[in-house]
Amino acid sequence: MIRDLLLGLRLAVGGGRISGQALLRLAMTTLGVALVVAVLLPAASINTLVSEQDAREAAQVPQVEPRPGVDPLYRLDWFIDGGDDYLQAVVVAPDGPNAPVPPGLDRIPAPGEVVVSPAAADYLATPAGEPARARIGGTVVGEVGKAGLGLASDRVVYVGDTAERLKGEDYTTPVYGFGAEPDGLALDITTAAFVAPVAVVLLLPLLIFVTTASRMGAAQRERRLAALRLLGVSGRQVRRIAAAESLVGAVAGLVLGGALFLALRPLIGHLDLFGMRFFPEDFVPSWPLVVVIALLVPGLAVGAAIFGLRRTIVEPLGVVRQGKPARRRMWWRWSVAALGGLLMAGTLLADERSNATPVGLALAAGSSLLLIGVAALLPWAVEKLVAGLRGGTPAWQLAVRRLQLESGTASRVVSGLVIVLAGAILIQTLVGAVSATESEGSRWQAATPVAAQVVGDDEQVDEAASLLAGTDGITAVHEVVAAPLRAAGDGSGWHGQVLIGDCAALASRAELGTCADGDVFSVGALRESSGLAMPEPGARVRFYSYGGDGEQTDGPQWTLPAEVRQVPADQAAREVSSTLLVTPGALGGVTPSDAERVLYVTGTGAPARVFEAASLAVGPLSWEVDVRPALAVSDSSRLDETTRTMRGMLLVASIFVLAVAALSLLMLSIEQIVERRRPLAALSAAGVPLSVLTRGSLWQNAIPVAIGVVLAVVAGIGITLPTLRYAGLSLSLDAGLIGIVCGAAVLAVLAATALTLPLLRQVTRLDGLRAE
């Protein structure tokens, strides 16, 4: 057996006239296996990646129970909204020498000192981070270590302060230690439903490429094996030699794929996926999965080579192939597609957005099985459709007759293109549906839109208003008071919010028309999520507040005016939907409890620039006031950026996998021309023009691709609809992206045909009729 294997290894890179084709087959097999391994190893690292992140986040959980001998560390979490980006600032102050040190820090920063994470340092160094830098102040004295971060992209800043200043703040927490038990891995339904079909789209064309490359040069290999049979090698030895010949490329690809993974892993730290960056060292595949990959992927290449000999009898005097086409076993093909269809159909019984784990698993498994089923059914569909084709031009008849004799190999290769198309439609439609979904409320803005909102206590709001008043680019600062309100009674009725301000302030929130002091406006349908309607005009309502334990405390009562003017929801800002807008004169001297003062800032120029100016102006107040961008503006820019990123990644991934599928198609075309070189030469000698043979080759590739494109579009939309229905999203197809991917499939056929033209011209010479 060892001698047979060594002989197979020698033939893989053997000399003589076939060395060029042998080396090409070896190179293609190596490349295909390497790409598969390079994709599978990061996937096998996900468990370690999530576990490491989960452990770090659990170690950062504050412990608020007092401990003997431990001084409290006063901590205040402060989230700085930069418009397009967030920054988490943690203000800390020890109340003694034995206070715990947060994970990732060497020591607790003193007042005026700042410790930043690498991502936060990069952000603060940009012009967009200048307002946040002004608000944080202090001197950077260190860097937050990996132990204090969940992801490499976490923007975390620790700001030192005094214990006396933090003790009096409502949101300050005394911390006596850090650490908790990790939550463990949890199934994210959305991620599972999204990642499963992506994995199929990426891997299946690569696997098809591996099998195509491993069977490249089959005719030459079979003649070589026939020569070995003439020397006395048995049929069983022939299969071992063929397996060893393919094993060289498989093992070389395994090594190259591992090297690619190790070489590209450091670059993962610079890869930004929707604002998330990971630590490269966390990508460590688990050893059981590494062993599985090391055995299965090379086994696929070896199995494909042996499987190719199943209908071939290698004898000492030649190679005999079974002439009668084998009947396809359809039961497993239909079983895969039917099981996927049943799983997807079963999700129709679940309520929309029920967040049930079984539904997520059904969507993930169903979409994956349907994609695989489509690829498995394509050879059958091509066979059935071409069986009834008759007539046409000579080129068409040559292509159809060839497909009628043997369409399985071409269809299997084209199935890689079908998987890419169907998967691209599925993923793109999900991305388009999410990006097209609007949050509740409208996008209405005043003629001079609000760019920033400043919230804080009375003293700090007064100081912020003073700082904003003298800032260039800011034209107006409107103040409103926000307070919770409910129907009078036992508290089981309607609950809502009231905004109190003058007409100019309220006009920045909604289209009021005429307004005078004493008016009251209701925006949209004033109903709570429970569906309870607001009390009628003239009814008694009550202000209330929340205590430290979350219990409601009754405040003063107020009688609604007899006239409350309605404002449509689409003529008001989204955040004031189902809100009462009240001018001070309508309160009749009633002072709300638990009121929050809010400043709405407007100015000249782009809202983003006005927001930056407002953030810089209130910088001296640091964490004592909260500065937020206008909701509609910030959400729109973030959504647009995320959508562009997802569409760009989808297009790049689709083009890459299409290129792999096109390369498989090219190798198949070359192999078929080499195998049929004598019939092609005979046709040329009989007077068939080269242009007819070229068009015949084109049609031979184009027919399966055309059938596959139609099947992919239908299957892609069919797979997508149950997912959209469950998510409560509407169908939104990006015809441009689908057209690009379909056009790329057509270009792949044209490119494969064009690249085989020199070889076709060579084999159709009269020399091709000579034989030894």
- Work out the pLDDT band at 17, boundaries 50, 70, 90: very low
700-744 residue pLDDT tens: 888 888 888 888 888 888 788 887 777 777 766 667 767 777 787
- pLDDT higher than 80, residue 506: yes
- Work out the pLDDT band at 373, boundaries 50, 70, 90: confident
Separation of alpha carbons 291 and 233, rounded Å: 33
Contact status, residue 597 vs residue 461, Cβ threshold 8 Å: yes
- pLDDT higher than 50, residue 232: yes
Contact status, residue 141 vs residue 157, Cβ threshold 8 Å: no
- pLDDT higher than 70, residue 63: yes
95-113 residue pLDDT tens: 988 999 999 999 999 998 9
**pLDDT score of 177:** 92
Residues 207, 208, 209, 210: what is their CA dihedral angle, to the nearest 10 degrees? 50
* Residues shown for the chain: 772
**pLDDT score of 220:** 59
116-165 residue pLDDT tens: 999 999 988 888 888 888 888 889 999 999 999 988 888 999 999 988 88
- Work out the pLDDT band at 84, boundaries 50, 70, 90: low
% the chain with pLDDT above 70: 76
**pLDDT score of 530:** 43
Determine whether 389 is exposed, middle or buried from the number of CB atoms within 10 Å of its CB (0-12, 13-18, 19+).
middle
Determine whether 717 is exposed, middle or buried from the number of CB atoms within 10 Å of its CB (0-12, 13-18, 19+).
middle
Mean pLDDT for 76-88 is 80
289-330 residue pLDDT tens: 888 888 888 787 777 766 665 555 555 555 555 544 555 667
Q: Where are the beta strands (DSSP E) in 375-449?
A: none
**pLDDT score of 160:** 92
More confident residue, 746 or 284: 284
594-610 residue pLDDT tens: 788 899 999 888 888 88
Question: By three-state DSSP, how is residue 495 classified?
Answer: strand
Tokens coding 59? 């170690």
- pLDDT higher than 60, residue 616: yes
**pLDDT score of 527:** 47
Separation of alpha carbons 716 and 724, rounded Å: 12
Q: If residue 450 lies in a helix (H) or strand (E), which one and from where to where?
A: strand 450-456
More confident residue, 192 or 461: 461
- Work out the pLDDT band at 688, boundaries 50, 70, 90: confident
Mean pLDDT for 357-363 is 75
**pLDDT score of 529:** 41
Most confident listed range (219-228, 501-510, 723-732): 501-510
- pLDDT higher than 80, residue 115: yes
Separation of alpha carbons 441 and 643, rounded Å: 20
- Has this prediction a pTM greater than 0.95? no
Question: Which residue is listed with tokens 């569909």?
Answer: 381
513-523 residue pLDDT tens: 889 999 999 88
Number of neighbouring beta carbons within 10 Å of residue 91:
23
Contact status, residue 737 vs residue 716, Cβ threshold 8 Å: no
Mean pLDDT for 344-360 is 74
510-562 residue pLDDT tens: 888 889 999 999 887 554 444 556 667 788 888 888 765 556 778 888 888 88
Mean pLDDT for 634-646 is 57
Mean pLDDT of the chain: 78
In 3-state terms, the chain is what percent helix, strand and coil (to 5)? 55, 15, 30
Tokens coding 318? 């030649």
Q: Where are the beta strands (DSSP E) in 137-239?
A: 139-143, 156-160, 173-175, 177-178
Mean pLDDT for 377-387 is 84
